[in-house]
Amino acid sequence: MTGGVSVEGISLRELFAGIELQAGSEVLDIAVTDISANSGLVEAGGLFLACSGFRRHGLEFLDEALDAGVGAIAWEPGEGFTEPRLPAGIAGICVPHLGDQVGIIADRFFASPSSTLAITGITGTNGKTTTAWLVTNALLGTGVQAGYMGTLGFGIGQNLESSALTTPGCIAAHRRLRKLSDVGATAVAMEVSSHGLDQGRIDGVKLRTAAFTNLSRDHLDYHGSFDAYKAAKATLFEVEGLESAVINIGDPFGAELARKQRAGQKTISVALVESAPGGQQSALCAELLDIDANGMRIRFTGEFGTAEMHSSLWGTFNVENLLVAAGILLASDYELDAAAKALENCQAPPGRMQVIRGHTTSPLVVVDFAHTPDALAKALIALREHCDGQVGVVFGCGGNRDEGKRAEMGAAAATHADRIIVTDDNPRDEHPAEIATSVVAGAKGAASVEVVHDRAAAIQRAIEVAGTDDAILIAGKGAENFQLVAGRRKPFCDADVAADVLGVAA
């Protein structure tokens, strides 16, 4: 067996059973050994799914799939695309709305891995990675073989395979779930992005629990409007067969989501305050009791009892992440005390408020993925809570992405930081100077603003001008080990550069 599929493969008739075909199309009784919607990844003897995509149609890449030796091709009829001429021996199937059927086909091909896994899907603008990481590691700490799938990669424990997307393509998602199941996972916490939801990347995945962290501006370049962005997030809670929902009703959209949950479904509402917007009462509440250089002390209260815990995580926003994680554990039938103890032993994921301590005379440096105005503000507030000196920030904005948030990022930095260095993030195909100009335009009233395009030089500059009691936030890239510049992917890691400047190990 390879990835849950026998080396002989699976019959096309089994894969397409009950799926509507174009009139006159026939499914032959032949076996395929793999499936792919990417012509560059298709294998000899496999099935190529030529779907009508966001920008291109899969049939445009038919020759590449044929050169790879595919055994069968299913295609989606579309304007300007006629039935392809296939070589003898290659099975062809015409499937209307094929893109909508990929989840069913992938689930069948990989022997329905999600049906044997307790899967929690976590969505929200910020906090997905930290919350999924916390849940995974809390479960592992209590003896559950839990897998993680998200921005940091996928796998069990610290042994993660890399991932280019927060939520992988639909076939890749099912393939990874099969791999996790095959290595012994019984539960999975997975991040689910708005892109992933809108593009059907978790179609066919059987979720047990859906969780919501928060909502603020992001990805409007893709969704077009905030309402469309909200609508995409909401679809996670409409997945068929969902058993429970954990929703932060301290967020206005979360309160709206909670009111719309299906009757008979277990819904655990969480909030930082007793009374959420609209008069809703949260089932689980969290109160920040104390903050120090080693973390935070938190009290949970509500319908599930009372429990206290100490966390090494920083920032009030991480109280919300811990709160949602606790709600997910409660949805998994943990007692509140057990959930709090399990979370107490969890560390922050790489690149999420990752503290890098230098020598005694060095400033404190924190690396974080904050790449939205709201996340940047919260991360800077967290540094202010934990340090006695001034707060500096090094950040930029990604190229070919939501231009409207750049000035807002600058404004957030101006409001919450004493020193700002604007640098290159992942400029992609845009001119870095134009991105920086947009960011600086929003930083009106800032005490100190510099532009240093070279990210390594910017980090070095921020550390050199900081005092012993100061703190520096390096924001935007988190655990990324690359930088995307003018079509090139350059090796780069914020934490490694900062550690090198500080003269310590990352």
Cβ contact 124:193 at 8 Å: no
- 5 has pLDDT over 60: no
- Residue 488 neighbours by CB distance under 10 Å: 9
- What's the CATH fold of domain 10-109? 3.40.1390
Cβ contact 181:117 at 8 Å: yes
Q: What value does the mean pLDDT take over residues 304-311?
A: 98
In the chain, the percentage of residues whose pLDDT exceeds 90 is 80
CATH, domain 354-502, list 3.30.365.10, 3.60.15.10, 3.90.190.20, 3.40.50.1260: 3.90.190.20
Residue range 336-366, pLDDT digits in tens: 999 999 999 999 999 999 999 898 899 999 9
Confidence of residue 46 (pLDDT cuts 50, 70, 90): very high
- 2 has pLDDT over 50: no
Residue range 85-103, pLDDT digits in tens: 999 989 999 999 999 999 9
CA dist., res. 413 & res. 420, Å (int): 7
> Helix, strand, or coil here: 167?
coil
CATH superfamily ID and name for 113-344 = Mur-like, catalytic domain (3.40.1190.10)
Looking at per-residue confidence, does 153 or 25 come out higher?
153
Give residue 276's pLDDT: 57
Q: What value does the mean pLDDT take over residues 106-119?
A: 97
Residue range 404-435, pLDDT digits in tens: 999 999 999 999 999 999 999 999 999 999 99
- 109 has pLDDT over 90: yes
Residues ≥6 apart with Cβ < 8 Å to 1: 7, 182
- Residue 117 neighbours by CB distance under 10 Å: 23
Give residue 219's pLDDT: 57
- 223 has pLDDT over 60: no
CA dist., res. 126 & res. 123, Å (int): 8
Looking at per-residue confidence, does 147 or 158 come out higher?
147
Strand partners of residue 168? none
- 216 has pLDDT over 50: yes
Bin 378: left if φ > 0, else alpha if -120 < ψ < 50, else beta: alpha
Residue ranges of domains in the chain: 10-109, 113-344, 354-502
- Strand (E) or helix (H) holding 209: strand 209-212
Give residue 4's pLDDT: 53
Give residue 79's pLDDT: 79
DSSP 8-state secondary structure symbol assigned to residue 389:
S
Handedness of CA 482, 395, 425, 169 (dihedral sign): positive
Residue range 247-256, pLDDT digits in tens: 999 999 999 9
Q: What percent of the residues of the chain are helix, what percent strand, and what percent coil, each to the nearest 5?
A: 35, 25, 40
Handedness of CA 371, 377, 382, 384 (dihedral sign): positive
